[in-house]
Amino acid sequence: MEMTMAHSPTQSDYLPGFGHDWLLPLYDPFSRLTGIGKYHQQLLDQAGIAPGERVLEIGCGTGNLLLRAAAAEPAAKFTGLDPDPRALKRAGKKAARKRLAVELDHGFAQQLPYSTASFTRVLSAFMLHHLPVAAKSEALAEVRRVLEPRGTLHVMDIAGHTHHARGWFARRSHRSAYVQDQLGDGVPDRLREAGFTDVRVVAQRDTRLGHIAFFEARAS
């Protein structure tokens, strides 16, 4: 497991996974309680990662999706990036316990510290809605830049309309200004605006987290 600290962009604002740094220790227990793992698996099934591929997860947090992917396909190369050093530290400890070889970088999705066409696939799980409205387009343009030609982006995030939100957590999530920006067709529209092709909604599900959708897009 390798962890590096890349230069941070001028725009350094980010929203922690639970909204506050002090709530980070609750993130993994909450993920287990709400069954997020099965949605992570659905995203990985969609991505179909093959041996030798170079995979980046933006907003990897404490590493739950990234480590699941690395365990499933050890012959691929996995990199996780997150702006929260506390979350990365937890991810590093988990990777070491599981003896999984992943690279963990500190950085921001709107200024990815990687060369053009560095990755075969990019994953994003419950991350896009954390970005301020202006940063979403910047982040998607950066993802397109670091993807190799015909490489694919796989996104899972809160979507749908507010009336789909069932339960306290779902309603609270849907009231977020960041989430409101991507309700309905927001994500596909932004993907197309960033220059992605073959944009599609792969699946949608009503969950305790709210209405979530799975998206796929290809770098031209």
pLDDT at position 186 is: 82
Question: Which residues in 67-97 are b (16+ Cβ under 10 Å) and which e?
Answer: bbbbeebeebbbbbbbbbebbbebbbebbee
CA atoms of 213 and 205, how far apart (whole Å): 6
Domains of the chain (ranges plus CATH)? 2-219 (3.40.50.150)
pLDDT tens for 89-114 read: 999 999 999 999 999 999 999 999 99
CA 165/CA 169 separation, integer angstroms: 8
Other residues' Cβ atoms within 10 Å of the Cβ of residue 12: 10
CA angle 104, 44, 22 (to 5 degrees): 45
pLDDT of residue 125 exceeding 50, the answer is: yes
Q: Measure the CA–CA gap between 109 and 74, rounded to whole angstroms.
A: 25
Whole-model pTM above 0.85?
no
In this predicted structure, which of 13-22, 58-67, 96-105, 146-155 has the lowest mean pLDDT?
Answer: 13-22
Residue 129's pLDDT is 82
Each residue's pLDDT tens digit, 4-27:
444 344 434 555 555 555 466 666
In degrees, to the nearest 5, what angle opens at C-alpha 213 toward C-alphas 211 and 219? Answer: 155
Q: What pLDDT, on a 0 to 100 scale, did the predictor assign at position 133? A: 77
CA 134 to chain centre: 17
Q: Which residues contact 67 (CB under 8 A, 6 or more apart)?
A: 91, 94, 95, 98, 100, 102
Q: Kindly report the backbone phi and psi dihedral angles of residue 35, in degrees, each rounded to the nearest multiple of 5, phi listed first.
A: 70, 30
Instruction: Write out pLDDT tens, residues 171-209.
Output: 445 455 444 455 445 889 999 999 999 999 999 988 877
How far is residue 197 CA from its own chain's centroid? 19
pLDDT of res. 76: 98
Identify the residue whose tokens are 């009336």: 163
